[in-house]
Chain A
Amino acid sequence: LAKTTQPISMDSYEGQEVNITCSHNNIATNDYITWYQQFPSQGPRFIIQGYKTKVTNEVASLFIPADRKSSTLSLPRVSLSDTAVYYCLVGPGYSSASKIIFGSGTRLSIRP
């Protein structure tokens, strides 16, 4: 699996847009990029997944440049409840041969 690098932590304020960037320089052609959110004492929760360009759902957007060596998770108008750890994972989809390895994640703190 492609190794990922994210900022260890980020701070922002309620109502702001937050962008978290993940570097994955050795991403493979058949790799997808998936972001998860984790609250304390809970399992990770799927946020968004993409392969290229831009993906948007009801909670976030994912921007992927043409070279796919990085991706940016964009959270519009964050609230206190968005305080969590965000993980970027890169891999070729899921199967019995998958090895889902988590990087360090980004600890996002939202202030009033």
Chain B
Amino acid sequence: GAVVSQHPSRVICKSGTSVKIECRSLDFQATTMFWYRQFPKQSLMLMATSNEGSKATYEQGVEKDKFLINHASLTLSTLTVTSAHPEDSSFYICSAIQGQGATGELFFGEGSRLTVL
């Protein structure tokens, strides 16, 4: 099946620094990708919808200036956590749609664990 890859899988950074997480669709083109955040023992929380060539759509309560999303190509979306703080430590997961509508399929990346010291 289709593969969505995230990089890095783990990252540790100091408070105040910025961290970029990449999400790639390896064998298909994805006009739409989604970014989620997941805290321990909790469900996935949708942060934003990333559309190739246009601005991302952020969910209510998610700071667009803090979580910068860029979807510059049909196979790559990036999430940059700017000026990270310990409360940003979380598991970040991306997903991408292959196809559309009833025949579309949703594939998830392996996730990226961010730890801010």
Residues of B in contact, count (CB < 8 Å):
30
Q: How many contacting A-B pairs (Cβ < 8 A)? A: 70
Contact with B along A11-50 (1 / 0, CB 8 A): 0000000000000000000101010100001111110000
Within 2-60 of B, Cβ neighbours of A (below 8 Å) are at: 4, 6, 31-32, 34, 36, 43-46, 49, 51
Complex Cα–Cα for A105 and B95 (A): 18
- Shortest beta-carbon distance from B51 to chain A in Å: 6
- Inter-chain contact B46/A100, CB cutoff 8 Å: yes
- Most chain A Cβ neighbours within 10 Å, of B91, B101, B110: B101
Complex Cα–Cα for A42 and B6 (A): 11
Chain A interface bracket (under 10, 10 to 19, 20 to 34, 35 or more) = 20 to 34
Contacts of A105 in B (CB 8 A): 43
Interface: A87 (CB within 8 A):
yes
Contacts of B113 in A (CB 8 A): 41
A96's closest neighbor in chain B, by CB? B32
- Inter-chain contact A101/B32, CB cutoff 8 Å: no
Quick one: given A43-B95, A43-B109, are A87 and B43 in contact (CB under 8 Å)? yes
- Inter-chain contact B110/A95, CB cutoff 8 Å: no
- Inter-chain contact A102/B44, CB cutoff 8 Å: yes
Interface: B86 (CB within 8 A):
no
Contact with A along B91-108 (1 / 0, CB 8 A): 101010101111111111
Contact with B along A83-112 (1 / 0, CB 8 A): 000010000111110111111110000000
B109's closest neighbor in chain A, by CB? A43
Show the binding face of B for A, using Cβ within 8 Å.
4, 6, 31-32, 34, 36, 43-46, 49, 51, 91, 93, 95, 97, 99-111, 113
18 pairs from A and B in contact (CB 8 Å cutoff): A30-B102, A41-B91, A43-B4, A43-B93, A43-B108, A43-B110, A43-B111, A87-B44, A92-B101, A94-B100, A95-B97, A96-B32, A96-B97, A98-B97, A99-B49, A100-B34, A100-B95, A104-B43
